[in-house]
Amino acid sequence: MSANPEKVVTENVTTEAAMDSAMDTFHNRAHFWGRTTLWVLMVMCLLPPLYLSFVLDAHPGWGVIGGGLLGYAAFVGIMWVLEPITYYPTLGVAGTYLAFLTGNIANMCLPCSSAAQKAIGAESGSRKAEIAGVFGIAIASLVNICIIVLIILGGTYILSILPPSVEGAFNFILPAIFGAVLGQFAYKTPTYGVLAMAIGMGVFLSPIFGLIKIVVCVALTITLIMLIEKQKDKKSNS
């Protein structure tokens, strides 16, 4: 006895609607708690300098503060806009809040989110991938907190006994992580991976102002991939 096609379609539509509603609720709660915790964190970060400045009368002067802020913003200010945009497709709504709350996005949260998504075979950008990414970031953050506590308690002694060759290897950790993430995402579409590497090397070796190299690299890569995908769609439709 065959199933009624209309009933099956109706059930699928109902299930999809229920999943969309559940994700909307999840996103609303993520926005609420994400904004709340980030605002609390910003206030807590401002409390020590405000206490030193206005309670202990150790204010350095607004000129010094403004000069330091301008100097720092000129160096990394572009990342304040670039990072949320470039990391969001992988981290998702809740993952973005959690990652920017805990920090270590590029060298911890992003790789852990990608690894969790790959472990369950979730397609990037899907609901399943977003939930898996949140769990990956949450576990990574908890492990990071435990490690930080151990490092605070005994890290100074450990670093003091490490040979110089090991300390020098720390400089290669971040490039190795970025390479692993690139390899993970380029595995399914190696052509795009090679294209991204070629664009990255070209931008890196070009005389472009250093602070906009990342923006130029990301913009060129996305633009070229979108053009290639459009050409593929035109060929498939013709």
User: Which amino acid would we find at residue 233?
Assistant: D
Whether residues 89 and 168 fall in one domain: yes
Q: At 47, is the pLDDT very low, low, confident or very high (cuts 50, 70, 90)?
A: very high
Whether residues 91 and 163 fall in one domain: yes
22-31 pLDDT tens trace: 888 888 999 9
Whether residues 165 and 102 fall in one domain: yes
Whole-number percent of the chain with pLDDT over 90 = 9
Whether residues 84 and 155 fall in one domain: yes
Report the alpha-carbon distance of residue 131 to residue 134 in Å, rounded: 5
Spatial CA neighbour of 108 closest among 145, 78, 80, 158: 145
CA 65 from chain centre, in angstroms, equals: 29
Q: At 3, is the pLDDT very low, low, confident or very high (cuts 50, 70, 90)?
A: low
Which structural domain, as residue segments, surrounds residue 34? 21-75
- Total of domains in the chain: 3
Whether residues 120 and 60 fall in one domain: no
Which pTM does this prediction carry?
Answer: 0.60
> 208 phi and psi, to 5 degrees?
-75, 150
Res 169 pLDDT > 70: yes
Q: Decide if 137 contacts 107 (C-beta within 8 A).
A: no
Res 39 pLDDT > 90: yes
pLDDT given at position 43? 94
pLDDT given at position 125? 72
pLDDT given at position 8? 46
Mean pLDDT value of segment 154-164: 78
Environment class of residue 121 by beta-carbon count within 10 Å: exposed (0-12), middle (13-18) or buried (19+)? exposed
Residue 178 domain flag = no
Q: At 5, is the pLDDT very low, low, confident or very high (cuts 50, 70, 90)?
A: low
